[in-house]
Amino acid sequence: MSAPPSKPTVTEREARQVAEAAREQDWRKPSFAKELFLGRFRLDLIHPHPLPADEDARRGEEFLAKLRVFCETRIDAARIEREARIPDEVISGLKELGALGMKIDTKYGGLGLTQVYYNKALALAGSACPAVGVLLSAHQSIGVPQPLKLFGTDEQKAEFLPRCARTDISAFLLTEPDVGSDPARLATSAVRDGDSYVLDGVKLWTTNGVIADLLVVMARVPRTEDNKGGITAFVVETDSPGITVENRNAFMGLRGIENGVTRFHQVRVPAANRIGPEGAGLKIALTTLNTGRLSLPASCVAAGKWCLKIAREWSAAREQWGRPIAEHEAVGKKISFIAATTFALEAVLDLSSQMADEDRNDIRIEGALAKLFSSEMGWLMADELVQIRGGRGFETAESLAARGEKAVPAEQVLRDLRINRIFEGSTEIMHLLIAREAVDAHLKVAGDLIDPDKSLQDKAKAGANAGVFYAKWLPKLVAGSGQLPGTYGEFRHGIDLSKHLRYVERSARKLARSTFYAMSRWQGRMETKQGFLGRIVDIGAELFAMSAVCVRAELLRTQGDHGREAYQLADAFCEQSRIRVEELFGRLWTNTDDLDRKVVKGVMGGAYTWLEEGIVDPSGEGPWIADASAGPSKLDNVHRTVD
């Protein structure tokens, strides 16, 4: 057996090639969001709003009822926050309830819930205690069950899924101390040795890793004469010799999560535990995240609902200048934002989840937009609640209770939600990921024109193909149904939502024109314009959310379920969203991006170090990034088993 390879060094171009190779290259199914970025408003793909089958709804509601009782009677959120740990009896109770197997097929002992009801369950559990929601989500959304569901063999499913459904907790291990969103530099190795692989390396931020029984581990198989190797996925038993959980990490929020640092030293993994072929690991991870990311919007929806409840109750009880504070416009606007945005986040989540269940559409962009939009808006809603609560919003629930007031954990929710802007793809990475998918059609027809490695012959061929494509596409961006006053009239019932859908249609065409102009202007430098690309994506996210709220409001109206109120919330959200969209459109071309780059160059070159004078840095000693060299562990194993 050869020694594990050293940490790979890669250029920016090589890193991009690795990420590109892991993408799903083809679009075999329609995508509402992809069409939106191309200037085509395909309302028919989401309206009428898809609904779960009656039997799926019945089973889902039955489990939600049981889970609600468990959350109300067995979960003590204050204790979890105080002790920074979910009690073993709570985890054991979740196992008995079947909550570990919500997404696992019934033939493997799971509950077989749909994505819609799985997310509703995560929202419910997360409202009781966000750390519990994370435990369940990390186990099922990205842990062993989901990759095996999508890519596992029948033998792997039969061996591992029954365990995951009832007894075994799983975790997903990709990140390393010096590797985040750039997996091309992944250093954990998996060297083939007979009918096994030998794993060496260190993984960071292993959510559930401290208590996990099973792991999905991404490791690099070295290239040989016989195969190309590459990043590969494995199911690994946590009690395998050579695995050490070296630290249980602590964070500003989600204090109960079991997140750690896991070291692998000469860990033998049967070749039968490899998921998919060698080199397919990153593609497996990204495909898993297409729906796995929807767990974060679920937590944001739960937080929004709670923020709305607290804002309503507090703003009615608290009086200033002779009136409840809700009647003061400065506070009222915040309440309106929380209410309208909560409605929007639930609309986006339910629509994306139902589309995932039906499997008629490719939702890779919708899932990513849902994660991006929900994590940003969830944080803003929590921040507004803290502001509404004033000094009490900054005070801990424990302190409030100690002096005789209602123990409202507003500051905790703010801390707990902050990680969602980083988890499973930071906002900045999501901008780039979505932008890449949004311009995929352009790169397919004109990519060779801006690729420096392509020959003149290839460029000439690409130019001809691009000419044909744009000759058909560009004229369609000039005019559309959004300019006809009567379009989408079925969304006019007392309150007129049709005007918002017409705005979405017009804005989608404007967005596509802006993208095309930018590509023509910057060509190969387009990928460096991250500020511009981020705004393009944010506009798309707002347009997707506006579409979702209108469709949801119409669904609720036809069901006779708070239809008038839903129309009012949809109208409020769309009006608020349109203001944000117009600002983003303006900032596409009027911004400080160039000046910011100059300032950053000065900062990194030391030109402004004088500005840092006059302070004391309370940071401790130590390297910025811990050493993650392969080798045996020198620390105690803090892994623990939950029976």
**Rounded Cα gap, residues 464 and 471, in angstroms:** 11
Can you tell me whether residue 196 is helix, strand or coil? strand
Q: Is 424 a catalytic residue?
A: yes
Write the CB contacts of 618 (distance below 8 Å, at least 6 apart in sequence): none
Beta strands in 536-628 (DSSP E): none
Q: Where are the alpha helices (DSSP H) in 419-497?
A: 427-438, 440-450, 456-473
**Angle 530-558/563-589 helices, nearest 10 degrees?**
170
Partners of 295 in the beta sheet?
Answer: none
Can you tell me whether residue 573 is helix, strand or coil? helix
- Decide: 347 and 549 in contact? Cβ < 8 Å: yes
- CA 513 centroid distance within chain: 28
The identity of residue 262, as a single letter, is T
**CA-closest candidate to residue 215, choices 258, 252, 277:** 258
Catalytic residue among 81, 411, 424, 505: 424
What is the tally of helices (H) and strands (E) in the chain?
23, 12
Can you tell me whether residue 500 is helix, strand or coil? helix
- Decide: 372 and 434 in contact? Cβ < 8 Å: yes
What tokens does 603 get?
């900062």
**Rounded Cα gap, residues 424 and 427, in angstroms:** 9
**Rounded Cα gap, residues 294 and 137, in angstroms:** 10
CA distances from 269 to 256, 294, 359, 393 (A): 30, 31, 34, 49
Q: What is the DSSP letter of 229?
A: -
The identity of residue 41, as a single letter, is F
Residue whose structure tokens are 């347009």: 543
CA distances from 109 to 103, 149, 208, 515 (A): 10, 14, 21, 48
**Angle 364-389/329-358 helices, nearest 10 degrees?**
160
Q: What is the DSSP letter of 622?
A: S
- Decide: 491 and 550 in contact? Cβ < 8 Å: yes
Q: Where are the alpha helices (DSSP H) in 233-280?
A: none
Cis link prior to 48 (omega < 30° from 0)? yes
Residue whose structure tokens are 């099973």: 214
Q: Phi, psi at residue 312, to the nearest 5°?
A: -65, -50
**CA-closest candidate to residue 415, choices 100, 641, 131:** 131
How many CA atoms within 13 Å lie on the side-chain side of 278? 16
Which contiguous run of DSSP H or E holds residue 165? helix 154-166
List, by residue number, the catalytic residues. Answer: 424
